[in-house]
Every structure is written in C-alpha cells, then in structure tokens.
Chains A and B, each alone.
Chain A
Amino acid sequence: MKARYATFAWRRVALLRLAALPIAATLCRLAAADDASRLSFAEMYAARGVLGLELAAKAKALAGSRVEILGYMAPPLKPEVPFFVLTRAPVALCPFCNSDADWPSDIVVVYPRSSERWTQDGLPVVVAGTLELGSKIDPQTGFVSLVRVVGAQVRALR
C-alpha cells in the first residue's frame, strides 16, 4: 500500500509540474495516510489581507487532530534547528542565509519526529502530524509561527 502510494504520488507530482496543477487538486487525489485529515494551503485561511490572516473554519476544527499537508520543503534555517518550513510554492531563497529574502506569510512550521529524516529542500513533501494553531515562538531560534505540524512524518514526493 505504501509503495503504491509513493508511485502514485510521484506520478502526480510529475503531472503537477507539467500542467502546473494547483497543489490542492493534487492532494485531493492522494490517499490520506491513516487517520489524518487532508488540509491544503488553500483551505488554511479564510482571508489573507494586508492586516492579517484569518484561519479558516476547517483549519480551526482540525486543531489538535492529525492532518496531512502537501507543500514544499523550504531551505532549512540551520542544520541543528529541529523544524523546517513548509511553503505553498517552492521558495528558492533561504531567508536565514540571505538577508534580502523573507518568508511568505502563509507558512507552516513542521516539527518532524526526532527519528525522522528528510531529503532534498525545495521539493514537494507530504507531512502528517498533529496540527497546532496559534502564535508560538520557537525557544531555540525565536522563529514565530502561527500554524504548526508536530510529531510529523515526512514523505518526499519523488
């Protein structure tokens, strides 16, 4: 089942690149892992305005539950940092390496399981873990996040 999932996902991602299908559409075709509910970047916020983001009802309802999100793994902050940033679209720049760069507002911070290893940056991945909402400052780095997936399993889609 897992092998089939991986093959299926890879083919879908290849399609995504060719046809530039939105991530949400792709995710809909992916089987959800275990009991996790699927959540896409598009479903995360009810409104994104100049004066802030408002979380969508679906995201609020899933707080504390296991979710599965498809996104792109951004370049890591530092090797020793215990989380990575998941973005809606590929981010070429590493904002911590390049002071000219900055994160998009609608990022998800992912804390993988400690034993979890992940692969290349800038690639589409599926993360499955517990959804945490609300402003939080990472004690080690001072990084501020609003949406997090903790205890996450990370699968690279290639």
Chain B
Amino acid sequence: MSRLARRMGAIVVAVAAVLLAVGTSMAAAIYPIDRARILAGSRFDFKVEFDGLLGADGARVTVNGVEAATAFGKPVRFVENEDGSGASSLVVNDVTIARPGTYVVTATAGAKTQSVTWDVYATGPRRAKNVILFIGDGLSGANRTAARILSKGIKEGKYYGALSFDDMPYMALVGTSGVDSIITDSANSMSAYTTGHKSSVNALGVYVSRAKDNLGHPKVETITELVKRRTGMAVGIVTDAEIEDATPAGMFAHTRRRADKDIIVEQLFLSKADVVMGGGSAYFLPRKTGGSKRKDDNNYVDLFQRVGYRLATTDAQMKAAAADPKTTQLLGLFHPDNMDGALDRHYLKKGTVAEFPEQPDLADMTRAALAVLARNPEGFVLMVEAGLIDKYNHPLDWERSVYDTIMLANAVQAAKDWAKGRDDTLIVVTPDHTHGVSIVGTIDDARPGTEMRDKVGVYAEAGFPNYPPADKEGYPPSVDVSRRLAMFYGNFPDYYETYRPKLDGPFVPSVQNESKQYVASGRYKDVPGAMLRTGNLPHTADTGTHTADDALLTAMGPGAEQFHGFIENVEVFRILVDALGLSPAPAVTAAPAPGSAEAARPRVAATP
C-alpha cells in the first residue's frame, strides 16, 4: 500500500469515528445541575460535559433558546478532549445572570438533547446589617439534649433551663444530602450554606465534574466573595478546628478536595476575610520551619501581617488585639492542629492542653471577633464553628462532644448578648450534618450485675443522672459520676465499649491492622467491664460516620422568620443573602442589554 493510500485510509477511519461519536454523544452532565437555585448576580462557572468526542460544531448549547455565548455574553470555550478522557466539554467561566426567572439550558449533540432548569432568584431589600452563622459541626439531637441535661439540670421531667439556642423564635429541619450521596461531609454541607449550590463529598465551592485537576471544577461564588465583591462589609471566620478545615474553608475555598489544606490557606489569604481565628497554624508556616505542613516556602503568618492583620497566638493576645480600637483585621492562630475541646481545656487537662495552655475558648473568640468586626460601619458576616463536636462524635467520645455543645451554647449566648437591643443582626445556629447518636438511659454503677450492660437503666430504671450542678460557665465540673448518661452511637467500627468517660484523653476506638481493616483498639480492652462491640460499618471505616438525619436549625433576628418547616441546606444561603439584600430585585424592569443573559429571557415565559 502506498503512503498516500495509507494516509487516506487513516483519514476515512478518523472521519467515521467522529461521525459515530457525534451520532452517539449526549450531554453527560450540565453544571450548575438541574433544579439549581441561583442568586441573581452571583458568579458561577458553566460547564457541559458530553460523553464522547465532538467537533467544535458538534454540539449546541442554548439558554432559553439562545446560544450560550450570546445568553451569557461571554465566549464559550470548547474542550475537544478533556484531560484525555475521550470526551468533549463546553465551558464558560464567571457567568452571572442578573435577571430572576426560570432558565432552561439545553445541550444538543447529534440527535440527543439534555436539559436542566435553573431558578434564578432575587433578594428583598437589605434587612440585616449583620449575619452571624453558628455551625455546630456534627451537632446531633442527642448532643443538644445531653448538653441541656448536663448544663441546666432536669427534675421530674422538666429542665431547669434552656440552652442559648433553644429559645430562639424560629426553627427548621434541614436536609443535608449532596449531589452525589444522601450522606454529606462537612465540605459540601458547608458549601451549600455558603454558595446556595449543592456539591459532593469532600468538595468546596465547586460542582464535582470529571476534571482531573482538583482546582479545575466548575466554581460557584461563596458568601465571602459575594460580600467582598458587592459590599463593603467585613467577614469573620472563626473555628476551634483547623482554620483550613472543611467548614471554615467552605466560607471561601474552591477545590474538589478538602485535603488541599495548603492551597486552602492561600485561598484564605486571597479571600480578604477580616477576622480569621482557629487552629491549623502548621499550614501557615514555610516548609523549612519545623512543624510546617506546607510544601512551599510561603510564610502566611508573615504575609497576613504584612498586609495589615494583627497576629494573636494566645488567649491574652487575642483579647488585647480585640480591645484595641485600631484592630480591624485579626489573624488568631492558637494551635498547629485542631484546638483542644472544652472538657480537656477546662477540666481534664488532657489532649494537648499541657503543650498549648493558652488556647482561647470559642465564646471568647466569638466576643473578640464581634468586637473587631463591629468596627466596620457597613456590617459583617461572621461564621463561628464549634468544629470539635464533630471531631469527638467521630471517635464515639460523647462526653467531649457534649461539653463542646455547651461551649457552642456559650458562644451563641455571647452573640445574643452582643445583639441585644439592636434589631439588625440575624443569628442562625445549625448543624452541618448529624451523627448516629442517641441517649438511651443511664449507667448506674450501683445497679446489680457483673456485666456493664446490666448497669444500663432504661425506661423507669434510667431515672436521672447525678452530674454535679454546672459551674458558672455552664459545665458540670465532673463528668465522671456514678449515674451517668447512657449515650450510644448506632454506626461504629469495632471498638471496646467501656461505659465510662475517657478521662485519659480523647477516645481512639479503632486502629488499622495489616489487612487495612479497622479493628478495636486494644488500649481499652483491659478497662474493667469493657465489652467488644463488633462494628456494623465496613471494615474500612475508622470511626463513627455522618448520618442523613435532618439537622435542627434555630434562628433569630431580621429574616429569621423564613426558617420554618423542612428546608434544603441550600435555602440557608438564600435566607442569609435575602436578609442582607445582596441582590435586590430591580424596582423597574429595564430593557435587557443585547448579548446579556437578560436578552435570552424574552424567548421564554420566565417567572420573575
């Protein structure tokens, strides 16, 4: 065969392949996804993924019948063979749709089409000057109940008091599931609150597409970016976990993998959040510094200070910085890793408290953040996370999770005290997801029986626990009592149930064996009365896991009345931005500019 003939043969095969691909391709995915509710004027990346290779003219994408490029007023980028996946994509970055209404996006390749429908909404006028969003990470129903029992006391079936977030006038059940799964993690659940878009496990501020680069997925705008782009408001991000951990990162970050913590610190710096406080300093230090977890030489402790942030690494420094009227930007880093919880810091002195004795309490961090943020006359958005509730629910350490729930109540009380007498601050307290934990009775050492399970009292035998009355901070000074709560987790790896608080340090229920399976940690085997519980989770599960149970949200202040009944987690974002009036509906309908997204609208019967 001559060279020419071989080449011609190759061309014929190639053309046939393209035609075949065009004939069978369809859109595998469109982002934002079907039924997305999008804040008018908020930014997002638009992406259509086809399931085969297309030519540049092989696909047509319309928005309400108008070509996507025209509708969005931006050129469409055609990616012929995305990441070598053998499939084509269409991308438009940084899209905004100013006009509220229904938008139908249709992708056509060959004879096949796929459509998604978006609801673009406006907000009302601004009603809240400030928003304070408290996240009780993994805060479950039993955490609340146990915190109320331990902190307030109960007699003859009635509590002696309520937690600070119990008596808020508005309440809702929140659905926490994500795009990929009924079970969420703290990354995509927080993203739902801060972007109004559902995402997938481990993802922050993006829709998880087939892109191989963690940073290459379609982005959605976070509340921090919105507030900084459209207003002069301040933003505060406060946690007792690492500041680059999923929940605080949800305020500003865009990555498919929450484990990209070094990158998340860079994104935090670029976010221009005004108050940044938590643990996790190891990701701020250049790699040459001992204890650094960075892979580069960037020193973010220096960089933050160079652009004007005041640095605090202890409780006293934080309080001094907050008291100084000149402080308007504050970086508080109090631990290289997660901070220690309330039970260890205030009472047991375990964990890493001996090494880091000057860690502040979340309630004081909240007060300090409010003092600094209130210096901005335009108002602020503050997120405060009690992150360790989740960090202790995971290893089945309920006492520590409950002490941190009491700490969350103290932090919320600090915010309520600050907002008292002013009707301009929306306060929301919500879990991001739940754990499978319940109170089933009490464990009474005086009950008969040789096995610890026989010490568990249920129904009438449960009676009431005998924790000492709470101190002025709201905590019982001792958690090691003779008649204590029987609080068990329903989803767990193999572990030794000791029926007692872990006074020697946070519980580590399981360890991995040589077959990569998690087995009960032998450390607790010899605790008197310890009983092996064979796990009901896969052998790959190292701790207890999140559940799909509804989260219980409470709220007060302007806009809070919109919280009622069952809501999707993305509605929390809508209610926050509505209270802040971040995209008020125009009073007069102006003619849409040619080539803008508005120009697409007259083609369909959009409902404003």
A50 B334 Cβ-Cβ under 8 A: yes
Q: Which residue of A lies closest to B508 (CB)?
A: A92
B542 A98 Cβ-Cβ under 8 A: yes
Interface string of B154-191 (1 = CB under 8 A from A): 00000000000000000000000000000001100000
Interface string of B303-331 (1 = CB under 8 A from A): 00000000001000000000000000000
Q: Which residue of A lies closest to B297 (CB)?
A: A135
Give 4 nearest A-B pairs by CB, closest first.
A53-B290, A122-B511, A53-B291, A99-B259
Interface string of B191-215 (1 = CB under 8 A from A): 0000000000010000000000000
Known: A100-B185, A144-B287. A137 touches B292 (CB 8 A): no
B290 A54 Cβ-Cβ under 8 A: yes
B289 A52 Cβ-Cβ under 8 A: yes
Using CB atoms and an 8 Å cutoff, list the residues of chain B in contact with chain A. 185-186, 202, 242, 246, 257-259, 261, 281-282, 285, 287-295, 301, 313, 333-337, 355-356, 394-395, 504, 508-514, 516, 518, 521-523, 526, 540, 542-543
Assembled-state Cα–Cα distance A75/B517 (Å): 10
A105 B508 Cβ-Cβ under 8 A: no
B337 A137 Cβ-Cβ under 8 A: no
CB distance from A118 to the nearest CB of B (A): 9
Interface presence of A43 (CB below 8 A): no
Q: Chain B contacts of A122 at CB under 8 A?
A: 511-513, 521
The residue that A146 contacts in the complex, of B291, B512, B542, with Cβ under 8 A, is B291
B294 A106 Cβ-Cβ under 8 A: no
Interface presence of A142 (CB below 8 A): yes
A20 B335 Cβ-Cβ under 8 A: no
Cβ < 8 Å to B, chain A residues 111-147: 119-122, 134-135, 137, 142, 144, 146
Q: Which residue of A lies closest to B285 (CB)?
A: A52
A100 B246 Cβ-Cβ under 8 A: yes
Q: Which residue of B lies closest to A95 (CB)?
A: B259
Interface size on A, residues (CB 8 A): 38
22 example contacts (A-B, Cβ-Cβ < 8 A) are as follows A17-B522, A50-B336, A50-B356, A52-B285, A52-B291, A52-B292, A75-B512, A90-B508, A92-B509, A92-B521, A93-B543, A95-B259, A98-B542, A99-B202, A99-B257, A100-B394, A101-B542, A105-B282, A106-B291, A122-B512, A122-B513, A146-B290
Interface string of A70-92 (1 = CB under 8 A from B): 00000100000000000000101
B521 A90 Cβ-Cβ under 8 A: yes
The residue that A120 contacts in the complex, of B313, B334, B513, B540, with Cβ under 8 A, is B513
CB distance from B337 to the nearest CB of A (A): 7
Q: Which residue of B lies closest to A74 (CB)?
A: B512
Q: Chain A contacts of B258 at CB under 8 A?
A: 99-100
Chain B interface main SS type: loop
The residue that B510 contacts in the complex, of A92, A95, A98, A105, with Cβ under 8 A, is A92
Q: Which residue of A lies closest to B524 (CB)?
A: A17
Q: Chain A contacts of B281 at CB under 8 A?
A: 50-51
Interface string of A143-158 (1 = CB under 8 A from B): 0101000000000000
Assembled-state Cα–Cα distance A49/B293 (Å): 14
Given contacts A18-B526, A53-B291, A99-B259, 7 further A-B contacts (CB under 8 A): A92-B518, A92-B521, A93-B543, A97-B542, A99-B257, A106-B291, A135-B292
Cβ < 8 Å to B, chain A residues 28-57: 45, 48-55
Q: Chain A contacts of B202 at CB under 8 A?
A: 99
CB distance from B243 to the nearest CB of A (A): 12
Interface presence of A5 (CB below 8 A): no
CB distance from A39 to the nearest CB of B (A): 15
The residue that B337 contacts in the complex, of A18, A104, A135, with Cβ under 8 A, is A104
Q: Chain B contacts of A95 at CB under 8 A?
A: 259
B290 A52 Cβ-Cβ under 8 A: yes
Q: Chain A contacts of B508 at CB under 8 A?
A: 90, 92
Q: Chain B contacts of A142 at CB under 8 A?
A: 295
A93 B542 Cβ-Cβ under 8 A: yes
Q: Which residue of B lies closest to A48 (CB)?
A: B355
Interface presence of A103 (CB below 8 A): yes
Assembled-state Cα–Cα distance A33/B259 (Å): 39
Assembled-state Cα–Cα distance A100/B244 (Å): 11
B287 A105 Cβ-Cβ under 8 A: no
B526 A17 Cβ-Cβ under 8 A: yes
Interface presence of A63 (CB below 8 A): no
CB distance from B340 to the nearest CB of A (A): 13
Q: Chain B contacts of A6 at CB under 8 A?
A: none
Assembled-state Cα–Cα distance A100/B137 (Å): 13
Q: Chain B contacts of A49 at CB under 8 A?
A: 313
